[in-house]
Amino acid sequence: MTTNEHRPIIKVTDLSFSYGAGEVLSGASLVVHEGDYLGIVGPNGGGKTTLLKLILGLLKPARGSVLLFDKEQKLFSERSFLGYVPQKTSSFDVNFPATVLEVVLMGRYAKKGLFHMLNKEDCEAAELSLRRVGMWEHREQLIGNLSGGQEQRVFIARALVAAPKILFLDEPTAGIDHKSQDEFYALLRTLHREEGLTIVLISHDLSAVAREASALAYIDTTLTYYSSPSTFIDNDMRRALAHGHDH
């Protein structure tokens, strides 16, 4: 898919944010088009997660703006359009005695509201979502009994069950083995290429992002690169990163 064929659905303009004295994010601007697969990379503490939370409305910017589907973030009401898989450590207490199916059904509240009574439509949506990620057979298992890779598939299913237009993922492969990571990226590839889902992925895995994403953003407090992954890999930044230098 080429971005020219699709409308812009996220517009970030001159976005800045600070925790206390120092800016964590400074003057970031980017546009995500429908059907894009954006990979966001950069050093720890460089502002990647902050950018994601500003786009999602979980933080308020010090300056700048976020437009979602041509609406200002604070006026945007279609929350079910935004599917979010947060960092594993903060996303869910896996010791909570919930089955895989129950965890995924929680995602329906994003679409229907917190006091919505779950019905047949919700159950069918949960089944479809679990089948999309290959976890329907595990629906009766407790979430805490799954492997790391299986857990992440369930959390993607929970995000997908509300039928989002964009899927945001923050370090989704942290703490899972290489085989599970490969399977995970294959799942995202299917969602993007075959189902046309727009994906915004934060990752430390530069090689995976370069291989999978259609666009790459490098953030180290400010946005220092935003273009094709192949150009990023070919230029001096790639060698600088390999030696641990920040740009």
CA separation, residue 231 to residues 118, 225, 236 (Å):
48, 10, 10
Give CATH for domain 3-242.
3.40.50.300
In the chain, where are the structural domains located? 3-242
Tokens linked to 116: 């919505």
Q: What is the dihedral of CA 38, 40, 56, 58, to 10 degrees?
A: 170
> pLDDT tens digits, the chain, 247 residues: what are they?
344 467 899 999 999 999 887 889 999 999 999 999 999 999 888 899 999 999 999 999 999 999 999 999 889 988 889 999 988 655 566 667 889 999 999 888 766 666 678 889 999 999 999 999 999 999 999 988 888 888 889 999 999 998 899 999 999 888 888 888 888 899 999 999 888 899 999 998 888 888 899 999 999 998 888 888 878 777 655 555 555 544 4
* Contact in structure between 45 and 239 (CB atoms under 8 Å): no
The secondary structure of residue 99, as a DSSP letter, is B
- DSSP H or E stretch at residue 84: strand 82-85
Angle subtended at Cα 66 by Cα 61 and Cα 69, rounded to the nearest 5 degrees: 155
Q: Tell me which amino acid residue 94 is.
A: V
**Sequence-separated (6 or more) residues with CB below 8 Å from residue 161:** 104, 105, 107, 108, 111, 125, 126, 129
CA separation, residue 188 to residues 20, 133, 181 (Å):
36, 9, 11
pTM of structure:
0.86
Name 16's bridge partners.
Answer: 63
d(CA 33, CA 1): 10
d(CA 55, CA 12): 8
